[in-house]
Chain A
Amino acid sequence: MIATWKRLLAFFRGARLDRDLDEEIAAHLAMQEEEFRQRGMSAAQARAAARREFGGVAQTAETYRERRSLPWLDTAVRDLRYALRGLGRNPGFTAAAVLSLALGIGANTAIFSMYHALLLRMLPVSHPEQLVTLYRTGGWGRGFSSYPLYLEIRKRSDLFSAVFGRSTVDKTPFRAANGDRPETAQVELVTGNYFAALGVAPAIGRLFTDDDNRTPKGHPLAVLSYDFWKRRFGGDPAVLGQTVTVDQDRLTVIGVAARGFRGVEVDHHPDLWEPAMMADTDFADVNQYWLWILGRRRPGVPLAKVQAAMQVLLQQHLTGIYGNHPNAGYRKMAMDQHMEVRQGGVGLSYLRENFTKPLTILLAAVGLVLLASCANVANLLLARGAARQKEIAVRLSLGATRARLMRQALTESLLLAMAGSAIGILLAWWGERGVLQFLPAASGEPFDAAPNPTALAFTIAIALLAAALFGLAPALRSTAIDPAECIKSGGGEAGHRGSRLRQMLVIAQVAFSVILVALAGLFGHSLAALRSVDLGFRNQNVIQFAIEMPMAWKPAQTTAVREGLLARMEALPGVSLVSFGAPGLFQNGSSSGTVRVPGSEATAHEPAWVSMQSVAPRFFDVVGSSPLLGREFTPSDTAASPKVAIVNQAFVRAFMPGEPHPLNRVLSFDEKTFLPIVGVVRDIPYQGLREKIAPAVYVPVAQSPTFFGSVLVRTALPRESLAPAIRKETEKLGPEIAVSDPRTIRQRIDDTIFQDRLVATVGGFFGVLALLLAGVGLYGVMAYSAARRAREIGIRIAMGAKRSAVLWMVLRGSLVLVAGGLAIGVPISMVAARKVAPVLFSISAGDSLTFVSTAVVLLAVGLAAAFVPARRAASLEPMRVLRQE
């Protein structure tokens, strides 16, 4: 142990210790010489005799050095120095290799670290693999369940060892005892057994129990997250027992949750937990879906069994409530719900729903990018190996073993890979930021700012893999030569096998880029199709923000607040027109209702579902969509005036096809009041560009009051300059009214298609990258082969070959390689296209435009890459070439 340590130390002081040894040996020899001289030898004799007595000086020094240090480390360092020198001599090669590796490794690190954070990372709770989430799907929203449903599921102790629930994580007004100004905190309402079921311990104080969640509004308690405690209270244990104000409630802090526990949601992290009983809701209401249920599966109970049991339970629950509902359409919709049982160990995430597919596609794409960059580096290494063949031959004939040379070559590869991953990690950081730009503002913060160890380990692993991928073949190749042959031939004639390997690599590179370019083309085409969806209105720069008032407010109060707000908005400088709609355009959430249209086949037997909007006067004027028929609502449509409705084109198509006078028709929600249709407007795909446009009914907000909705502000000003003024106005509304960030409708639409924009943009970026790499590879191979054939080409030209024929000959060589790549890449990308077809919009996986243009682009790259070598070959002076030989 001590010896190893001393040796390691010695390793780092090698040069000084070498001098020491030399000096010691010199002293020894001098003393011996002196003794011999004293015995009567001549100086020369004494010198020779002393050396003889000593034995081989160099040999001793070598044994000594070996003993002194760790031999493997020594050789490794020598290899490293050698590799560094070699790389330093070829800065162009080194830069190209490191850069292409950095791109490949960086892209993988970026995408993987997101993939890991969103899909793989387990919650820091006990036995996360036992957790399941009960995800409600169907016509009525997704994810959340009602409190009565929770209580029923909780009874199933045969399946679960614990069932618990939590609300969304909501940004809520917050004030600490020592706080002098209002703040906000992320608040999550949880059932009493939440912490115990997760197996989360307190850092200090205590956590909730079932006894802390018995009576509505009866448990004004709070538990803080560790991060929040540190951040807001400086980690002061005196926070226990303090009172904090959350929303309107004064809560006593009873504890802080364990460090590292950030809730069960991946995208949003609570600062503070409250007992679920503190919610402003009717706990008996089966129609309030606000609780997301999780369970801890009993060991040995299979997921499928839980799934089956939950489905039965939900259906019985729904039958109990809606089984006898008189409205058949309503009943059908209400019963059409399912309970998906999902693995919960990786936490809950809304983002995961929409982001998994694009992320998986990108993960596959970056894998291809890495392969392409490895092929590129292997190609560069081979080219350089060919140039260094003579050097290698000399070293081999001087006694270096092949293993030794291989090791040196691989050391160099490793060095390149390490440099590539160092830069790659920087690129990944930058690239991740780039990808995050695409996420909708409401996505929360699922991804750590700091790189996490798993992602770093992944980077190192792929760097090593890359080094093996691109380093091994060239290392084998360049050392498998017959030194005598090579030296005899002057090193000029590189093996045929070497160039065959390079051609294969280039074909592979072309194939990789075909796949990437084809996929990017599909995504780009799909995005273009989405962008060309008819929006039905012109003013995409209208700024929209959502407001939500307390549900308990009377219509008179909500109307007064809303109208006051609209008036103040209209008074802002730069604002031309303001209106209001609930829910609004491209907002999350939707309103729907059932209608009957007298005289319509479609609603003859049961009422039909339609999409609903309550809109204020001039709504269509603001967004720039004048009614096709009739009028839009005006201030004279009041609560007291006769009730009226506006419908869209889809409504006319669905319920009165071919009707020449829709304005003569009426519709009814309750089959008592019949609303005349006063206008027909264009279809607006406000539920999402991908959604089929539903029949929609617009009613005056004055006649259908709501406590929520969106304010629409038309302005010629850019959003950035008006948004602060809007925020300033909305802040005056007070803490009871939640207001979202003002964003243009254009931005909202972008949010709804963020996956498409992401895969198209990032995929396009990777496609261009792969093209670039393929171009470099093609150029390298063509330039090399043209140079090798200079003599042959010279003779051809001397014999009268036309220069254009020579030009074409070289270009054709490149096109053959591209054709080879296409032959491999196109079938693979067609298979890949079928995999991604579900995320494509309105184009098929076999989109011919995409595949034809991919082929054209690659052939063009092939021509461009070969053009310079081809022209050089065509302008050879035969006499000069032949004289050079």
Chain B
Amino acid sequence: MSTGAAKTDILQGTLDLMVLRTLETMGPQHGFGLAKRIQQISEGVLDLNQGTLYPALLRLEQRGWVRSEWGASESNRRAKFYQLTRAGRRQIERESQDWERTVALMARFLRPAE
């Protein structure tokens, strides 16, 4: 834990928000693109099997937060593109607030005692 190199297991529920946020900033994106982007942002801290992304995407789609359609990738390959829905945007807002609250709370506990 002391070394910054340690990779973190993914926290339940965080992957959803990461995917949603990534889609929000990047716009429609295929699975591979999303995986790469998430790895980039987490700067290697996150030990993510790219495959885990797909069940997560399915879950988001089932809840109506993203929708998908087949399209052509940059290299003109057939790929499935995911896109944020309006409900997804609302969900990001909700979850971001939750997170901020949680983070602020945890920060109070973790601050060196005075």
Contacts and interface: CB of A to CB of B under 8 A. Distances in A.
A32 B80 contact: no
Nearest to B58: A67
- Which size bracket describes the interface of A in this complex? 20 to 34
A30 B73 CA distance: 11
A6 B58 CA distance: 11
A25 B30 CA distance: 11
B44 interface: no
A2 B75 CA distance: 35
Contacts of B77: 27, 30-31
Interface residues of B, number: 22
A56 B51 contact: yes
Contact of B55 (A20, A24, A63): A63
B54 to A, nearest CB: 5
A576 B103 CA distance: 112
A21 B54 contact: yes
A73 to B, nearest CB: 15
A277 to B, nearest CB: 70
Interface in B1-58: 30-32, 35, 49-52, 54-55, 58
Contacts of B51: 25, 54-57, 59-60
B79 A27 contact: yes
Q: Majority SS of interface residues in chain B?
A: helix
Contacts of A67: 55, 58-59, 62
A7 interface: yes
B58 A64 contact: yes
A2 B58 CA distance: 13
Contacts of A28: 30-32, 35, 50, 79
Contacts of A23: 78, 80
Most buried by A among B31, B35, B62: B62
A764 B55 CA distance: 63
A301 B91 CA distance: 65
A55 B49 contact: yes
Contacts of A20: 80
B12 to A, nearest CB: 14
Contacts of B62: 2-3, 6-7, 67
Contact of A2 (B50, B55, B63): B63
Contact of A25 (B49, B54, B63, B73): B54
Contacts of A30: 77
A366 to B, nearest CB: 49
Most buried by A among B49, B58, B77, B80: B58
B54 A55 contact: no
A644 B95 CA distance: 111
Interface in A828-867: none
B54 A27 contact: no
Interface in A8-52: 20-21, 23-25, 27-28, 30-32, 34
Contact of A54 (B30, B49, B63, B80): B49
A658 to B, nearest CB: 101
B55 A27 contact: no
A31 B54 CA distance: 15
B13 to A, nearest CB: 15
B70 to A, nearest CB: 8
Given A3-B62, A6-B62, A34-B75, A27 B52 contact: no
B36 to A, nearest CB: 8
Given A6-B62, A32-B32, A67-B55, A53 B80 contact: no
Given A24-B31, A28-B31, A28-B32, A54 B79 contact: no
Contacts of B73: 27, 31
Contacts of A477: none
B31 to A, nearest CB: 5
Interface of B: 30-32, 35, 49-52, 54-55, 58-59, 61-64, 73, 75, 77-80
Interface of A: 2-3, 6-7, 20-21, 23-25, 27-28, 30-32, 34, 53-57, 59-60, 63-64, 67-68
Given A28-B50, A60-B49, A67-B59, 5 more contacts: A27-B79, A28-B32, A30-B77, A64-B55, A68-B58
